[in-house]
Structure 1
Amino acid sequence: MAIRDLLRGRLALRIYLVGLAQIAVIVAGFIAVMEMNRRTGVNPGKQQLRFITSVIARSLDDPRALDGALAIVREDLNATISVIDPDGAFLATNAPGGRPRCDTTAPAFPPDPEAPRCYTAPLRFPDGRQGRVEAIPPPMPPPFSGLRVIAFVLVVVGVSSWLLGRTLTRPLRQLSSAARAFGGGDLKARAALRNRDELGDVSRAFDEMAERVAELLRAERELLANVSHELRTPLSRIRVALALISEAEGDVAVARELLADIGGDLDELERLISDVLTAARLDLEDAASPGGIPPLRRERVDVLDLLARAASRFRAAHPRRALRVDVPEELPPVDADPVLLRRVVDNLLENAHKYTERSAEAIELVARGGEEVAIDVIDRGVGIAAADLPRVFRPFFRADRSRTRATGGLGLGLALAKRIVDAHGGRIELASAPNEGTRARVRLPIARDP
């Protein structure tokens, strides 16, 4: 399992490989130094020993010449040479103090690992008898010392760690710079790292978050403009209507007609304020709820009665729009918040009316039961482009950005509907095509008996 996690973590794999490379370099360095030490303390070769023996053989008759030859060997090769006569006695040596460091006549058993090894070669004396030459190679230098080992390891680890650190700190510095710039108000700041490891994943997540935040801020700015427009228009109409009533001079018919217009404008204002307050309530309850789902005031809801009331309200608000209701006589109940669920149906019907330009086109309200309750609102209006479908449930997004009275609004209706349906454990789906209409379907789980 640990190996699998390591392979999945590309950054962890890189650090692991750097660790392996450090170990490999250290081992290779140790081997190289040991080889150099071995070659530095090389023993006299056979040919070299034969040459030394021939030089000594020519000097046996002259003790001064023999001592000079041994001194030269000592100086040039740092080797200890001893000449043993045929009787086994020391004839001459260049050992310090005149005594060799090893005695081949009495080898230790078991051998002493710290005692120097002796190499011998036969030596023929002038009288024809045979002695020998004993050669002790120079002492092997210690392959390593503690300080050298520590220095070597520190250099290898330091260089590799510095190189690894550069590969990590550069993208981190770029990411932190982008975060500071974005936090300072530069909404265009992006990290834009091309790394294929976890740092690249963090960079892409940051860029996606920054894009969503920037889009949300743009939408909120648009919300302020839309709210001011949506409030100003009905208030202006109310002001004009009141002025006309004051000028009607007792004309009851005119006053009654204008009061009806005022009532419609007040309903529009109430609906606008209700959408904004509902969105604020859901935001606050989302933040307060540990699971991120707003608490609902659930009760057993009769879906048939809820749809009948929604149809009645819609017909009263839009008497010129035909509404076809296709609902069976029996529908299973649902456990829901009736106020919020009514808001979903009202918003879907209102959207269908708003985006159906031809007043002769009817809107359909269809419901079916079964394992779940499905509620469809169908229109034959302007429809939604395929590119806008994934975004229609975002707050403040409107496929039609115009601010005409026919398609006015804040872009909160579908966003609120989705959040309410999600909180009930249901789903909301849209199927639409430009100039062909839209089908909005809400699926809700039926109430289960306790």
Structure 2
Amino acid sequence: MVIRDLLRARLALRIYLVGLAQVAVVAAGFIAVIDLNRRTGQDPGSSQVRFATSVIARSLDDPRALERVLASARDELHTTVTVLDPDGAVLASSAPAGVSRCSTARPASTWKPMTPPCHAAPLRFPDGRDGLIELTAAPSPPPFSGLHVIAFVLVVVGVSSWLLARTLTRPLRQLSSAARAFGRGDLKARAALSNRDELGEVSRAFDEMAGQVTELLRAERELLANVSHELRTPLSRVRMALALISEAEGDVAVARELLSDIGGDLDEVERLISDVLTAARLDLEEATSPRGIPPLRRERVDTSGLLAHAVSRFRAAHPKRTLRVDVPEELPSVDADPVLLRRVIDNLLENAHKYTERSSAAIDLVARGGEEVVIEVVDKGMGIAAADLSRVFRPFFRADKSRTRATGGLGLGLTLAKRIVDAHGGQIELLSAPNQGTRARVRLPIGYGPGAGDALLPRATRRPSP
């Protein structure tokens, strides 16, 4: 489990491998230093022993010459030499007083090399007997001390840590630079890191966030333009109607017709403002909600009655449009916010009317009960492309801006419908194809259980689950 998690965490794996490499290099350096020091401190070789033996053998008859040879070996070769006569007594020695010899006298026949740093070799005296010569290498300081080892470790760790830090700080600087540029208003700023580790994941998350924020800002700017356009059109018609009324000079029939048009235009303005205010309310309540879900003002709602009122409003607003209704008289009631739920049905019916260009084409409203209430609004309009179906619930998204400009709207209807249905613990989906029409399906739970908005209601208004 730990190894699998480590392999998934590429950045942690990189740091772990760098640590292992540091330990391996430092260990190899220690071994090399120890071996080099050992080789440097070795005692004289056998060739040096033979050379010293031959020189000393020629000086055995001259005590002064023998002393000069031993002193020279001590000063030049840093080697102390002790000459033992055949009886084992010390004949001459360059070792300081009180320093023990490498061996004691022994018969020549039992001679064998001594343990380093001492060497012993037989020495033939002029009378033919064998004595002994002992050479001891003076200790020399090792070429590498503890300070050298510490410096080596610091260099290895420092260089490897700097290289590792560089691989981390470079993408972090690139990411922070992109974040600052985006914060200054450069909406095209992106980190665009190609790393395959956690830093790359953070970079891709930032780029996705920047893209979504850019799209949202662009949609809000488009909202301002759309609101201006949508408000200007009915207000211009109202102004024109008022001007015609003033010119009618008491013509009651003309005034009534124009007042009816003014009422329709004001209804359109009211719908527009209501959509914007509802979206703002949901945004505010969702932002302040501890679970990110807007609270609902729930009550027991007669589903059949709610749909009947929606049908009446739609037929009054669009008398030339055929609306076929297939709703049972007794549908299960639901626990819902009636104002918001009416907004869902009204928006779906209004969308079906707007995007069905042929006035003769009928719209179907179908509802069924059971374990849940299913409501469908079916039209034979222009339909929605498959590439746009996944985006129709985004705020301010409109699939065909050139055509929807004529039909009006801000691209908030479906967004509001989805957020309201989600808050009720239900589901909404669209089935559509270009020039084949659209089927909008809403599923609402019947019982009052621990739904999406239940936990946010005041305790006194909650009802027990059935």
**Alignment TM class, shorter chain as reference:** over 0.9
Amino acid at match of 1:105: T
CA contact (8 A) 2:241 2:262 kept: yes
Match of 2:166 in 1: 166
Query: Paired residues, what number?
Result: 441
Confirm or deny that 1:12 pairs with 2:28. no
Residue ranges of structure 2 left out of the alignment (5+ in a row): 106-114, 449-464
The change in CA–CA distance for 1:364 and 1:226 in structure 2 (over 3 A counts) is same
Q: Distance in 1 between matches of 2:231 and 2:200?
A: 46
Amino acid at match of 1:133: I
Q: Which moved more, 1:135-144 or 1:353-362?
A: 135-144
Q: Distance in 2 between matches of 1:254 and 1:280?
A: 39
Match of 1:354 in 2: 354
Q: Distance in 2 between matches of 1:103 and 1:36?
A: 25
Q: Give the secondary structure class of the aligned counterpart of 1:402.
A: helix
Amino acid at match of 1:255: A
Match of 1:156 in 2: 156
Q: Distance in 1 between matches of 2:172 and 2:283?
A: 33
Deviations for 1:21-55, whole angstroms, at most 9, x for unmatched residues?
Answer: 11111111111111111111122233432333233
CA contact (8 A) 1:93 1:100 kept: no
CA contact (8 A) 1:116 1:139 kept: no
The change in CA–CA distance for 1:369 and 1:125 in structure 2 (over 3 A counts) is farther
Match of 1:247 in 2: 247
CA contact (8 A) 2:352 2:379 kept: yes
The offset of 1:161, in angstroms, is: 1.2
Mapping for residues 172-187 of structure 1, pairs under 5 Å: 172-187=172-187
The offset of 1:181, in angstroms, is: 0.9
The offset of 1:304, in angstroms, is: 1.8
Confirm or deny that 1:383 pairs with 2:383. yes
The change in CA–CA distance for 1:164 and 1:405 in structure 2 (over 3 A counts) is closer
Deviations for 1:125-169, whole angstroms, at most 9, x for unmatched residues?
Answer: 222222222222332645864433332222122111111111111
Match of 2:225 in 1: 225
Match of 1:49 in 2: 49
Q: Distance in 1 between matches of 2:202 and 2:405?
A: 44
CA contact (8 A) 2:348 2:440 kept: yes
Mapping for residues 45-444 of structure 1, pairs under 5 Å: 45-95=45-95, 97=96, 100-105=99-104, 117-139=117-139, 141=141, 145-402=145-402, 406-444=406-444
CA contact (8 A) 2:37 2:144 kept: no
The offset of 1:84, in angstroms, is: 1.4
Q: Distance in 2 between matches of 1:117 and 1:157?
A: 36
Q: Which moved more, 1:64-73 or 1:121-130?
A: 64-73
Q: Give the secondary structure class of the aligned counterpart of 1:92.
A: strand
Q: Distance in 1 between matches of 2:368 and 2:136?
A: 106
Amino acid at match of 2:73: V
Q: Which moved more, 1:322-331 or 1:291-300?
A: 322-331
The offset of 1:93, in angstroms, is: 2.1
Q: Give the secondary structure class of the aligned counterpart of 2:407.
A: coil
Q: Distance in 1 between matches of 2:119 and 2:374?
A: 102
Q: Say what the alpha-carbon RMSD is for the aligned residues.
A: 2.1
State the TM-score, normalizing by the size of structure 2: 0.89
Match of 1:109 in 2: none
Q: Distance in 2 between matches of 1:102 and 1:147?
A: 33
Q: Give the secondary structure class of the aligned counterpart of 1:360.
A: coil
Amino acid at match of 1:260: S
Q: Distance in 2 between matches of 1:76 and 1:327?
A: 118
Q: Give the secondary structure class of the aligned counterpart of 1:387.
A: helix
Q: Distance in 2 between matches of 1:308 and 1:13?
A: 64
The change in CA–CA distance for 1:101 and 1:440 in structure 2 (over 3 A counts) is farther
Deviations for 1:336-368, whole angstroms, at most 9, x for unmatched residues?
Answer: 111111111111111111011011111111222
The change in CA–CA distance for 1:330 and 1:68 in structure 2 (over 3 A counts) is farther
The change in CA–CA distance for 1:422 and 1:144 in structure 2 (over 3 A counts) is farther
Q: Give the secondary structure class of the aligned counterpart of 1:134.
A: strand
Match of 1:110 in 2: none
Q: Distance in 2 between matches of 1:374 and 1:26?
A: 72
Q: Distance in 2 between matches of 1:161 and 1:99?
A: 53
The change in CA–CA distance for 1:357 and 1:47 in structure 2 (over 3 A counts) is same
The offset of 1:174, in angstroms, is: 1.0
State the TM-score, normalizing by the size of structure 1: 0.92
Q: Distance in 2 between matches of 1:372 and 1:137?
A: 101
Confirm or deny that 1:26 pairs with 2:26. yes
Q: Distance in 2 between matches of 1:126 and 1:328?
A: 138
Match of 1:111 in 2: none
The offset of 1:287, in angstroms, is: 1.2
Q: Give the secondary structure class of the aligned counterpart of 2:430.
A: strand
CA contact (8 A) 1:355 1:406 kept: no
Q: Give the secondary structure class of the aligned counterpart of 2:399.
A: coil
Q: Give the secondary structure class of the aligned counterpart of 1:290.
A: coil
Amino acid at match of 2:131: G
Q: Distance in 2 between matches of 1:445 and 1:119?
A: 101
CA contact (8 A) 1:102 1:116 kept: no
Q: Give the secondary structure class of the aligned counterpart of 2:120.
A: strand
CA contact (8 A) 1:117 1:136 kept: yes
The offset of 1:380, in angstroms, is: 1.0
CA contact (8 A) 1:175 1:191 kept: yes
Q: Distance in 1 between matches of 2:3 and 2:101?
A: 56
Deviations for 1:364-401, whole angstroms, at most 9, x for unmatched residues?
Answer: 11222233222111111111112211211111111121
Residue ranges of structure 1 left out of the alignment (5+ in a row): 107-114
Q: Distance in 1 between matches of 2:397 and 2:426?
A: 22
Amino acid at match of 2:193: L
